[in-house]
Amino acid sequence: MTGSGQIKCVIFDIGGVVVGSPLSAINDYEEERGLPRNWINIAITQQGTQGAFQRFERNEIDLYSFYKKFGEELSNASQNNEWYRKFCEMRDMPVPNNLPESFKIDGRELFGCMMQASFNPDPKMLQAINILRESGRFKVAALTNNFQPPSAPSPEGETVPSLDEEVKHLGLGPHFKQLKEFFHLFIESSKVGLRKPDPEIYKYALRELQVEPHEAVFLDDIGINLKAAKKLGIVTIRVQPTSSVPALQELEKIVGMQLLDEEDVQEYEEKMARRRRASKL
């Protein structure tokens, strides 16, 4: 394999790239409650930089305040329906008939579902990270929008879960610390006070890694995050929710190294061939 000698580091998003995506949990939550697909995701992103989710990932509000505000924002059916209609119009999609007239979302319940879905690692990604790191040719970093784990129980006392119960509810445990050990550098939005797609967090990562934009490759599953990185001159690769194989094949070409087992590639190709045959029936 041939690769670009310019590349000095590979930067990985975590959720949806190295581990499962919280977006899949959101889609399941929507389906179970009869909401249109992406209704909640649109409601979260349209809150802008001052939304509860965005502020929480910059560590500007504590967990329990976040739960309350998150639920309130997502339960504003009138505002969220308006945003969803605009989303459909922009994409020439018909507006579904099942927009909720009123709806109550429990912020703690939904966020727990999102986090539980985010801690199943992709073995193919972990293998690729190990190969890159052990080669000695690249710095390997993580760049993730995340939150700081709770360090105290809710101030509301006995009416709410204990600290241990809260940690378990969020799927937090030793595995997160173990995940960090795969990387030379692990950048967390909640620690640096910046979050993707703010250009400043990419600039921060480049400074910490001591590389120029064109010397870095960035893998993420969210288009707006990749767009911001690409605008700065960073090489970008989008990871699809169905499989990490195409993204890793693209990364192999860039770094000039085999990262995937032949069995994984063959399994993926056979799966795609079955889908193509099924679509013709």
**Predicted local confidence at residue 276, as pLDDT:** 85
Instruction: Give 241's DSSP letter.
Output: S
Rounded percentage of the chain residues whose pLDDT exceeds 70: 89
123 vs 129: CA distance, rounded Å = 10
Mean pLDDT of the region 30-58:
96
**Judging by beta carbons within 10 Å of its beta carbon (0-12, 13-18, 19+), is residue 145 exposed, middle or buried?**
buried
Q: Phi then psi for 36, rounded to 5 degrees?
A: -60, 150
| 8 A C-beta contact, residue 52 and residue 43 | no
Average pLDDT, the chain: 91
Partners of residue 140 on adjacent β-strands: 10
pLDDT at 5: 72
Query: In the chain, which segments carry CATH 3.40.50.1000?
Result: 9-21+120-280
Q: What is the pLDDT of residues 196-222, one digit of tens each?
A: 999 999 999 999 999 999 999 999 999
pLDDT band of 95, cuts 50, 70, 90? very high
- 184: phi then psi, degrees, rounded to nearest 5: -70, -35
**Region 49-54 average pLDDT:** 97
* Structure confidence by residue, pLDDT tens digits, 140-195: 999 999 887 766 555 665 455 665 667 666 766 666 678 899 999 999 999 999 99
Checking if the pLDDT of 124 tops 90, the result is yes
Tell me the DSSP string of 153-167. --TTGGGS--HHHHH
* CATH 1.10.150.240 corresponds to the domain 22-115: yes
8 A C-beta contact, residue 189 and residue 60:
no
Count of CB atoms within 10 A of residue 71's CB? Answer: 18
Any idea which of 65-79, 159-173, 211-225, 251-265 has the lowest mean pLDDT?
A: 159-173
> For residues 111 and 102, what is the distance between their CA atoms, to the nearest angstrom?
20
What is d(CA 175, CA 163) in angstroms, rounded to the nearest whole number? 18
Distance (Å) of CA 144 to CA 2, 9, 200, 208, 265: 29, 16, 14, 15, 27
The average pLDDT across 83-96 equals: 96
Residue from 182, 153, 158 nearest 169 by CA: 153
Please tell me the predicted confidence (pLDDT) of residue 187: 98
Q: Is the pTM here over 0.95, yes or no?
A: no
Highest mean pLDDT: which of 31-40, 162-171, 270-279?
A: 31-40
User: Which tops the pLDDT comparison, 118 or 57?
Assistant: 57
Span 9-21+120-280 CATH architecture: 3-Layer(aba) Sandwich (3.40)
> Which ranges of the chain does DSSP label H, i.e. alpha helix?
22-32, 39-45, 52-57, 63-74, 77-90, 107-116, 123-135, 163-169, 174-180, 189-192, 199-209, 223-231, 245-255, 262-280
155, two tokens: 């101030």
Overall average pLDDT of the 230-244 stretch:
96
Pick the range with the lowest mean pLDDT from 54-63, 96-105, 118-127, 166-175.
166-175
| Size (the chain), residues | 281
From-to residues of CATH 1.10.150.240 in the chain: 22-115
pLDDT at 233: 98
CA distance 235 to 257: 17
Give the mean pLDDT of 126-137: 98
pLDDT band, residue 36 (cuts 50/70/90): very high
**Maximum separation of any 2 CA atoms in the chain, in Å:** 61
